[in-house]
Structure 1
Amino acid sequence: MSTPVSTAMPDTAATRQPIGAKAIAAITIGSGLEFYDFSVYSFFATLIGRQFFPVESTLGQLLLSLATFGVGFGMRPIGGLVLGAYADRVGRKPAMMLTLWLMALGSLLFTIAPTYAQIGVFAPLIIVLARLIQGFAIGGEVGASTAMLMEHADDRSRGFYGSWQLFSQGLSFLLGALVALALSSSLPPEALESWGWRVPFALGMLVIPVGIYIRRHLKETAAEQGHEAFSSVRVIFTGYRRLIVTGVLLVIGSTASSYIVLDYMTNYTVTVLHLPMTMGTTAACLGALVQISLSIWAGRLSDRIGRRRTIALGSIPMLLLIYPAFMLMNQFPTLGMLLAVSLVTTLLLVLITVPTLVLVTELFPRAIRATGLSIIYCLGVSVFGGFAQFFATGLIGLTGNNNAPALYVMACLCLTLIGLAMVKETAGKPLD
């Protein structure tokens, strides 16, 4: 099932040394920026569609905008292979520094891109290029940063350490939602459509120099080895193929649930429920608060009762409740119902996402950990997460059923339960 990997281990005391809030923030800031950028893109997808995709149908504009959102995910597997191998060969720190610079470039393109009315077909091409650059960067970011986080933990605290990754993503999602809510509430529609939607991307760029500065002071945790470029990729695809399949199945359910429950809700509120954007954004803010509040608890819970049991505690109720939740939103399209659905579904989502990320990271030895996690994360997220909103909107158009997004989530959760049955428990066991 696995091929032996030579791992000249760094000093154990150094790698298991507890780290403080500053170091945790430095490690997770890249993934946080990912969720910030993705959240503001999701909130303004309808406006971006009108600016860059001049088709007559509002649904068509949204579909093209969401397809552009998903295009960036297509670059994730490539970024995962290249940057994951780089992180395992050269180190976690250099890889994470590079991803921040690439994220900055992508955000800059969003900030300055001319519209279709100004330069024609080159406008959507610039937006697509920005998403490709960001997708490539994030493809390697998650593997390197999560590996570094958990390599600071002992066998009884890896769930706790890994949960900070999801905590940072929830915090960044909340920040993106609040910025979108502030802009949509304070600016007239004309100003919001012409320039207001660019402001969140410009603000995101300001965080990147801070992240680069604090990341310079991190201690490297990668194995000290001199293997050739991409040897970790070769080892994984020759000796760990079954783990790749299992890991991808595990990731599918969590990523589909995440992008529907959190990211898609604002566009769904506006396009399908015909409610003000502020109502959908408010529900998204509540969901982010739930993720922030419960991520650390979910990580500790998985340390105590196991990763598999915690994932099942979230996946099975989500599978049973997601369709009734969409039915209730369509039957009673009020702010109170949106908030209730957001509260319940995000609680279950946290129980799925936190232990899934930790479990998948634990599947591989240190020498190929960043590459293995990057490959699994990118393959699972690229299609089932990146195009989740596109699939959900398309299913509504094809079936005429406004509850169709729930069917997509249910199908993905069934695949995750298959993956859960294929994997062994890793909590409390030696990582290397």
Structure 2
Amino acid sequence: MNTEQNYSETQQDTPPKRKITLEDVKTLSLSALGGALEFYDFVIFVYFANVVGSLFFPADMPEWMRQVQTYGIFAAGYLARPLGGIIMAHFGDLLGRKRMFMLSIFLMAVPTMAIGLMPTYESIGLAAPLLLLLCRVLQGAAIGGEAPGAWVFVTEHVSKRHIGLACGTLSAGLVAGILIGSLVATGIHSAYSAEDIHSYGWRIPFLLGGVFGFVTMYLRRWLHETPIFKAMQEHKQLAEELPIKTVLKEHLPSVLVSMAVTWVLTAAIVVTILMTPSLLQKIVHLDPTTSLEANSVAIVFILIGCLVSGSLADRFGNGPIMAIFSIGLGASFWAFYGTMLHDTTYLFPMYAIVGFFVGIVGVVPAIAVKSFPAAIRFSGLSFSYNVAYAIFGGTTPMLVSAMIAENVMSPVYYVAAVCSVGIIASAAVIRFKPRLDLATGNA
């Protein structure tokens, strides 16, 4: 019996038009809140990259090299994602979604708090950047299992007609973690002088992150294993061979589509949200507080965009919404960035529009989740998402930083090119919709 048939059997007791229940709301809320706190832990590094770079590398190192080295350590977190994600997904497909959901937050909380307590280069020399690298690798392994596990977890709790909304809601929660990071960074820059931040203030957000992580572990105790996984356990329909082997042998087209849409997600988050505040500070000399405040406004609109894109995907299909948001993202970021180089008068409203279209991250996981049958869903999604994020998300900061030395408009060109990939991927989703739907029993 093939995996599509297996999945359909596990769905027989789930009414296709079941409304969202209070239990669904609880699952979505706790998952989104936990994901927000864990994503805060992962991204807070980039908001203090300049300070961390000055403290964890030699003082006589050229500024450009220090920046590349710092973003290199940032990238290490992304490069570690595939291994951590594949391992946790493997056991998530065989032992249960919830167990890996708990493990991922533990692996995130410990290194985040460790960074906040870590001695700098001045105290321990070369060991400082090496320890920092180790912590980022552990964080990357944790986040590699977190996002795919969370998307699988929530979509297997709701009815199939609400998969888009569930993914959009959870994505909004994950993005809220970036908002918390932006707000904390804004608060630190507002409350402390540059000297105080350099001396001790930079440690505060990492220590907070460690506390957030352990709070998340407590919250997740109240979640239950997904009905679909429990049904597969009862009917002995779990993967009979290595899940990742099945993914690569039987679902390569789904892997390619999922990787393509994940590339769009990385450009949207890494370039337009994580890197843009620093770029505005360096290129147009915008003060840190203003750039971070504008960034916070943009992230609020991402939350709205996630919910809108997810809801629309449930109604009109993933492909058309992916295409519309890809076009909107490329056009709005081009207009925003090009304008900011000459005039920052409309910084806040223009950045808010960009943020809304970054809400494309709400529909991306819905496409990926629907691309794999239940027995190997966690592994398929985790492999595709994390490998794509390692390749594209991990190298993007260094690539854009190097390109911008030659052409100040490089970030715009990069985002526009990746959005074109999103449009092509959306056409593939529309073209192969019956096959992708069959993989989830939603035909």
1:293 deviation in Å?
2.7
1:118 deviation in Å?
0.8
1:1-400 equivalent positions in 2, closer than 5 A? 6=6, 9=10, 12-13=13-14, 18=21, 19-54=23-58, 55-221=60-226, 222=229, 223-224=232-233, 225=236, 231-332=242-343, 334=344, 336-350=345-359, 352-397=360-405, 399=406
Question: Which shows bigger deviation, 215-224 or 297-306?
Answer: 215-224
Change (3 A) 1:203 1:89: same
- Work out whether residues 305 and 355 of structure 2, in 8 Å CA contact, stay in contact via their aligned partners in 1: no
1:6 deviation in Å?
4.9
- Work out whether residues 263 and 388 of structure 2, in 8 Å CA contact, stay in contact via their aligned partners in 1: yes
1:20 deviation in Å?
4.6
Change (3 A) 1:14 1:107: farther
Distance 1:323 1:203 in 2: 35
Residues 311-343 of structure 1: per-residue CA shift (max 9 Å, x gap): 1111123233433322211111x3x43323311
Residues 347-402 of structure 1: per-residue CA shift (max 9 Å, x gap): 1111x2111111111111111111111111101211212232222111112x1x21
What root-mean-square deviation, in Å, do the aligned CA atoms of Structure 1 and Structure 2 show? 2.4
User: Are residues 1:416 and 2:422 paired?
Assistant: yes
Distance 1:166 1:4 in 2: 26
Unpaired runs of 5+ in structure 1? Answer: none
Provide TM-score, normalisation by structure 2.
0.90
Identity of aligned residues (%): 27
Change (3 A) 1:3 1:24: closer
Question: Which shows bigger deviation, 318-327 or 375-384?
Answer: 318-327
Residues 99-143 of structure 1: per-residue CA shift (max 9 Å, x gap): 011001220221111111111111001111111001111111112
1:38 deviation in Å?
3.6
Provide TM-score, normalisation by structure 1.
0.92
Distance 2:321 2:11 in 1: 31
1:25 deviation in Å?
3.1
The AA in structure 2 aligned to 1:405 is P
Distance 2:316 2:239 in 1: 39
Residues 384-430 of structure 1: per-residue CA shift (max 9 Å, x gap): 12232222111112x1x211111111222222222222223379888
Distance 1:378 1:229 in 2: 23
The AA in structure 1 aligned to 2:265 is S
1:226 deviation in Å?
7.3
User: Secondary structure of 2:203's partner?
Assistant: helix
- Work out whether residues 86 and 229 of structure 1, in 8 Å CA contact, stay in contact via their aligned partners in 2: no
- Work out whether residues 116 and 204 of structure 2, in 8 Å CA contact, stay in contact via their aligned partners in 1: yes
User: Secondary structure of 1:368's partner?
Assistant: helix
Residues 164-198 of structure 1: per-residue CA shift (max 9 Å, x gap): 11111232222111111111011111110121111
- Work out whether residues 89 and 379 of structure 2, in 8 Å CA contact, stay in contact via their aligned partners in 1: yes
The AA in structure 2 aligned to 1:203 is L
Change (3 A) 1:183 1:47: same
- Work out whether residues 182 and 295 of structure 2, in 8 Å CA contact, stay in contact via their aligned partners in 1: yes
- Work out whether residues 81 and 141 of structure 2, in 8 Å CA contact, stay in contact via their aligned partners in 1: yes
Count the aligned residue pairs: 426
- Work out whether residues 155 and 430 of structure 1, in 8 Å CA contact, stay in contact via their aligned partners in 2: no
Question: Which shows bigger deviation, 205-214 or 254-263?
Answer: 205-214
Distance 1:230 1:11 in 2: 25
- Work out whether residues 85 and 229 of structure 1, in 8 Å CA contact, stay in contact via their aligned partners in 2: no
Unpaired runs of 5+ in structure 2? Answer: none
Distance 2:48 2:308 in 1: 32
Distance 2:308 2:329 in 1: 19
